[in-house]
Structure 1
Amino acid sequence: MAENFFDKAKEAAKNVSDKLKETDNEKAKQASEQIDKFTGGSDKEENDNKDDDKK
């Protein structure tokens, strides 16, 4: 159940990141980059092996 919640949270963060990239605001774009670092990018493929990047 927690895993499903985590997947939904990551998907929501990716959607927010994609919306922020569409703006002209530089701070919004920087926030999008930070979200992408946490979620592994805004690509639609699941990258469960990205845990090494968090160390």
Structure 2
Amino acid sequence: MAENFLNKAKEAAKNVSDKLKDTDNEKAKQASEQIDKFTGGSDNDNKDDKKDEK
């Protein structure tokens, strides 16, 4: 259940990021980049954490 919530949160964040990219505001674009770093990197980080636990 928590994993499902996490996936929905990531999807929502990606949607927000896409909308921010379409703006002319430079701060919005920077925020979009930060969101992308978090949502893109978190999947890989979670997989690495699971490997360390074994």
> Common fold, TM-score beyond 0.5?
yes
Conserved 8 A contact 1:10-1:39? yes
- Residues 51 and 40 of structure 1: CA distance in aligned 2, closer, same or farther (over 3 Å): farther
Q: TM-score normalized by structure 2?
A: 0.75
Match of 2:53 in 1: 54
Larger Rg: 2
| Deviation >2 Å, runs of 4+ | 47-55
Identity %: 92
- Residues 51 and 22 of structure 1: CA distance in aligned 2, closer, same or farther (over 3 Å): farther
Structure 1 residue 8: Cα displacement: 0.0
Task: Point out where structure 2 has 5 or more consecutive residues left out of the alignment.
Answer: none
Q: TM-score normalized by structure 1?
A: 0.74
Pairwise CA RMSD: 4.7
Structure 1 residue 40: Cα displacement: 0.5
Task: Point out where structure 1 has 5 or more consecutive residues left out of the alignment.
Answer: none
